[in-house]
Amino acid sequence: MLGNELLRERIPPLKEMSLRDWRQALTTPPMYRVGNSTLRIQTHFVCLIAAVGLFVLIVWYAMSPPSRSHRSYLYSEHYDMLPLSNVITPKSVIDSYNATYPLTPPVRSAFGITYRIGVISDLDTDSKSTSESSTWVSYFKKGHLTWDRVHGSASFKWDASEPTRLTSTLGQGKRGMELSELIVFNGKLYAPDDRTGIVYEIDGTKAIPWVLLTNGDGRRVKGFKSEWAAVKDNKLYVGGLGKEWTTSTGELVDFDPMWIKQIHPTGQVSHHDWKTNYEKLRRSVGIEFPGYMIHESAVWSNIHKKWFFLPRKMSKEIYHEDKDPYHGTNLLLTTDENFSNIDVVSVGEAIRTHGFSSFKFIPGTEDDRPK
């Protein structure tokens, strides 16, 4: 065999070897011939190379970016649009929050405190432009509100200029730009579209798409029907109708409108099931499914540490689209953040064809409310 032949080449015949030759043969590492080259196995050197290689692999693995399944997303936790792991976001940007509110400093005078305010339109199917292809329109109208703290009264005046025309080419089901709310968040002005689920930043004459909210738990192909928005703990909360989605005659379809969306200042979205919370709100006035309560306005008060809801409609009867327009309310519901203690008061007289679609506390009034 090759091994025996090599050994015979290395070691002289037994009878010709002296004691010194034997010692030399036993202490010298064996030599193997491969082709025309010779490789001597040196155990300590090989172990050193293996250890260095293992160390390099461990360091490389520790410093490599996280796997796809664990990264956070800028636009939606379920939409692979722009992962935060690929975005260089300084820690100062993540930690900082612009709490400026109102955006325009109020003016004090002998008549009271004057605030700059605005409203935005939800034209439903009329938002489709009649002169531009694949374009939808909303209008942003501004004015001034003066609060007389001495007499506890307010006056209002619109700007003389025409409303700002806002357009978008983004729609769903041939509808879009049905902006249901206007809110200041992180030093900017935002408006959610209750048709597409897009939250727009309103910047002058531009409506800039910011994030996309999808229905229910976020794993739906349909846009979230956003109806109200509030700021709590430096995050933007966007909610829907707060009732079960049903057919036109009240048959249950799903619970998607009973989810809410929580948006971080960076744009990261999380989805939260508020079904139990909404049920507690309507139960406080004796309503159980198939009865319903529809929400389009809610505010979180940092002063009171409570939620305030002004429901738009409610009924102890099953939903029916022909009867629904006559179920307007005049109730204000107040609850702690756990929805464990709910207070109910009336605001004025109920007008069954009218309901609340939005409200804000006047800054500087300590978030006072009707008693």
pLDDT at 68: 40
Instruction: Encode pLDDT of 194-246 as tens digits.
Output: 999 999 999 999 999 999 999 999 999 999 999 999 999 999 999 999 999 99
Task: Decide: pTM greater than 0.85.
Answer: no
Q: Per-residue pLDDT averaged across 18-37, rounded? A: 49
Residues 220 and 190 grouped into a single domain = no
Would you say residue 80 lies in a domain? no
pLDDT at 108: 95
Judge whether 227 is annotated as a binding position. yes
Of 147, 178, 201, the last residue of a domain is 201
Report the alpha-carbon distance of residue 188 to residue 190 in Å, rounded.
Answer: 7
Residues 118 and 261 grouped into a single domain = no
Would you say residue 264 lies in a domain? yes
Query: Residue 13 belongs to what domain range?
Result: 2-63
Confidence tier at 64 by pLDDT (50, 70, 90): low
Q: Could you give the count of Cα atoms lying within 13 Å of 40 in the half-sphere of its Cβ?
A: 7
Judge whether 244 is annotated as a binding position. no
pLDDT at 50 over 90: no
CB neighbour class for 305 (10 Å; exposed up to 12, middle 13-18, buried from 19):
exposed
Residues 169 and 123 grouped into a single domain = yes
Report the alpha-carbon distance of residue 19 to residue 299 in Å, rounded.
Answer: 99
Q: Per-residue pLDDT averaged across 250-259, rounded? A: 98
pLDDT at 35 over 80: no
Number of domains into which the chain is organized: 3
Would you say residue 164 lies in a domain? yes
Would you say residue 292 lies in a domain? yes
Residues 287 and 145 grouped into a single domain = no
Instruction: Encode pLDDT of 320-346 as tens digits.
Output: 999 999 999 999 999 999 999 999 999
Q: Please count the other Cβ atoms lying within 10 Å of the Cβ belonging to residue 229.
A: 26
Residues 258 and 236 grouped into a single domain = yes
pLDDT at 291: 98
pLDDT at 5: 44
Residues 349 and 247 grouped into a single domain = yes
Residues 324 and 230 grouped into a single domain = yes
Report the alpha-carbon distance of residue 186 to residue 200 in Å, rounded.
Answer: 14
pLDDT at 371 over 70: no
Would you say residue 23 lies in a domain? yes
Judge whether 181 is annotated as a binding position. yes
pLDDT at 312: 98
Would you say residue 7 lies in a domain? yes
Residues 226 and 370 grouped into a single domain = yes
CB neighbour class for 65 (10 Å; exposed up to 12, middle 13-18, buried from 19):
exposed
Residues 355 and 240 grouped into a single domain = yes
Instruction: Encode pLDDT of 97-152 as tens digits.
Output: 999 999 999 999 998 999 999 999 999 999 999 999 999 999 999 999 999 989 98
Residues 186 and 218 grouped into a single domain = no
Would you say residue 330 lies in a domain? yes
Residues 142 and 240 grouped into a single domain = no
Would you say residue 196 lies in a domain? yes
The total number of residues written for the chain in this structure: 371
Q: Per-residue pLDDT averaged across 245-270, rounded? A: 98
pLDDT at 369: 73
Residues 163 and 286 grouped into a single domain = no
Confidence tier at 284 by pLDDT (50, 70, 90): very high
The CATH code of the domain that includes 318 is: 2.120.10.100
Q: Per-residue pLDDT averaged across 25-49, rounded? A: 51
Judge whether 317 is annotated as a binding position. no
Q: Per-residue pLDDT averaged across 174-186, rounded? A: 98
What is the DSSP-derived secondary structure letter of residue 316?
A: S
Judge whether 366 is annotated as a binding position. no
